[in-house]
Amino acid sequence: MDHKVETLISESEIQDRVRSLGRQIEADYHDKPLTILAVLTGSLIMLADLVRRISIPHRIALIQASSYRGATTVATTLVINESFAPDVANRDVLLLDDILDTGQTLTALIRHLADRGARSVRTAVLLRKIGRQEVPIEPDYCGFTIPDVFVVGYGLDFNDDYRHLPYVGVLKEQEVVRDTQLQDS
Ligand code: 5GP
Ligand code: MG
């Protein structure tokens, strides 16, 4: 299965970058009640690596956000499931997502957490895709900037597969087309 994926960011590059993001976060939150709130499912692998690089006390929480784009409209509806998210009132929340693409997911979640009484909300992403952003949002912590390609691995999926890869790669196009056709038939 690995042969379909071309490496874009290697395992060691990711590990180095996550380590330095951890150090930055540790310094920025050393005197704050930090909750790292990871957006399911894509950020799970980074979450596990990142929190082991942060030695200050902090809580770990999970939230699910799925976006649906209607067939006849460009408006995106975000459905938030917070059954695994503890109370964030008066906490300094660091939202962690796998990738900032259009920016809709993180923008909606920031608003949601502010409504829930979070003391502050910042964002961390493994990847930021250039050229697709629809809403103005600057991630506070960003691993890597990538071109407008569909990536998988290190948490990111295609049809719920490839999340386990320890690196980030690009799916070869003919394979994506073939898989999509198989799925449609
Ligand atoms: P947005 O920023 O558009 O609201 O959404 C970001 C979400 O879209 C991510 O959490 C991820 O689930 C999905 N996404 C965007 N680009 C990619 C990509 O290149 N690969 C994968 N696997 N998911 C992506
Ligand atoms: Mg996601």
pLDDT in tens, 149-164: 999 999 999 999 999 9
**pLDDT attached to residue 2:** 46
For residue 97 and ligand 1, the question of a CB distance below 6 A is answered with: yes
pLDDT reading at 168 higher than 60: yes
Q: Whose CA is nearest to atom 8 of ligand 1?
A: 101
Catalytic center residues: 101
Q: Provide the residues around ligand 2 (an ion) whose CB is within 5 A.
A: 42
> Which ligand is the nearest neighbour of the Cα of 109?
1
Backbone angles phi, psi at 25, to 5 degrees: -65, -45
What is the spatial distance between Cα 53 and Cα 76, in angstroms, rounded to a whole number?
35
pLDDT in tens, 66-91: 877 666 666 678 899 988 878 999 99
Q: What share of the chain is helix, strand, coil (3-state, %, to 5)?
A: 30, 35, 35
pTM of the model: 0.90
Sorted by where each begins, the domain ranges of the chain are: 11-147
Over residues 42-54, mean pLDDT: 98
pLDDT reading at 12 higher than 70: yes
Over residues 104-133, mean pLDDT: 95
Give the mean pLDDT of the chain.
90
More confident residue, 124 or 73: 124
For residue 92 and ligand 1, the question of a CB distance below 6 A is answered with: no
For residue 127 and ligand 1, the question of a CB distance below 6 A is answered with: no
Backbone angles phi, psi at 173, to 5 degrees: -60, -45
pLDDT reading at 178 higher than 90: no
3 state DSSP class of 139? coil
Backbone angles phi, psi at 66, to 5 degrees: -120, 135
What is the spatial distance between Cα 37 and Cα 123, in angstroms, rounded to a whole number?
9
What is the spatial distance between Cα 123 and Cα 28, in angstroms, rounded to a whole number?
13
Least confident of 3-17, 93-107, 168-182: 168-182
Q: Say which CATH topology domain 11-147 has.
A: Rossmann fold (3.40.50)
**pLDDT attached to residue 185:** 40
Per-residue CA distances from 50 to 20, 42, 84, 159, 179 (Å): 9, 14, 19, 25, 32
**pLDDT attached to residue 34:** 98
